[in-house]
Amino acid sequence: MTKTNDFNAVPRSPSIDKVGVEERVARFQSRSIKNDSKMQGLHMVLNMIDLTTLEGKDTPGKVRQMCFKAAHLHDSYPDLPTVAAVCVYPSMVRLAKSIVGDFGIKVASVSTAFPSGQAPMNVKISDTKYAVEHGADEIDMVISRGKFLSGEFSFVFDEISAIKEVCGDARLKVILETGELSTLDNVRKASDIAMYAGADFIKTSTGKIQPAATMQVTYTMLQAIRDFYDETGVMVGMKPAGGISNAKLALHNLVMVKEVLGQEWLTNQWFRFGASSLANDVLMQILKTDTGAYQSADYFTID
């Protein structure tokens, strides 16, 4: 998308009716999904997952195992789609790319001093450049929540804009870390700033802070995307991450996306789940729906 390069172009964000959001989300959660639609939805969820390992104890062996199993998942189940991407630290990008690059699976890298974001701008730019130069297709950056909560909104805008410039052809996902923003009004304002600064996706969380991807937060961000699209004609993607570990919750999210944004957003180009364990449950549910019997969770370990 074309950036405005001007914080003053960001419109005033509307106030959020928290009770109204909770009532709307409760309706999404009460929907029943028929078996045919459920199976279609489960395949869709699997194809939208950014399979993730972001721990201080990550080793090349662990990343290699995750990537190999992501790339070869449908060797045993040929009718299944692949995951959308694997998400790793910058130091692991080259390794991940060498394993999944030929399988249509993207490599996403966190950057900007993930997860805290507490680093000087030159360090954040260097972090991002390193990931891109080593083959990252996507960058998941964190915003400076301390600056945002101090009211330094133009700083946050300029930071996102600068990282977008460094990304080149890599798509930029902007992590708001909604668990630290405290209110839905703040979530909406941060969403607006990120999109007008050039975000290709907005993302709820790092997965390190709770609460993370609640449906109330995701709904608020989806509404921001809807308003941005109505105003600019530009599609922006959405990535809830953190706490979505079962297929039922993922399917409720898809129902919400379809009703708020429409069918066009129901592809992995525009919607992702950030997860480490969701894929296991989705696979179990697919085989349960297909065969009528659950397999052991260990049988599907891919994280």
Please indicate whether residue 203 is annotated as part of the active site: yes
pLDDT at 198 over 70: yes
pLDDT value of residue 144: 98
Please indicate whether residue 50 is annotated as part of the active site: no
pLDDT at 303 over 60: no
- Mean pLDDT value across the chain: 92
The token pair that represents 283 in the structure block: 């696979």
pLDDT at 99 over 80: yes
Q: Could you give the CA distance from residue 294 to residue 161 in angstroms, rounded to a whole number?
A: 47
Q: Which of 50, 140, 192, 200 is catalytic?
A: 140
Q: Which of 106, 124, 173, 203 is catalytic?
A: 203
User: b/e map of 252-262 (b: 16 or more CB within 10 Å)?
Assistant: bbbbbbbebbe
Please indicate whether residue 137 is annotated as part of the active site: no
pLDDT value of residue 177: 98
Q: The domain 7-300: what is its CATH number?
A: 3.20.20.70
pLDDT, one tens digit per residue, over 24-41 is 999 999 888 877 789 999
pLDDT at 77 over 80: no
pLDDT, one tens digit per residue, over 275-299 is 888 999 999 998 887 766 655 544 4
Amino acid at position 33, single letter: I
Provide mean pLDDT across the span 107-113: 98
Q: Closest by alpha carbon to 52, among 138, 171, 163? A: 138
pLDDT value of residue 263: 96
This prediction has a pTM of 0.93
pLDDT at 89 over 70: yes
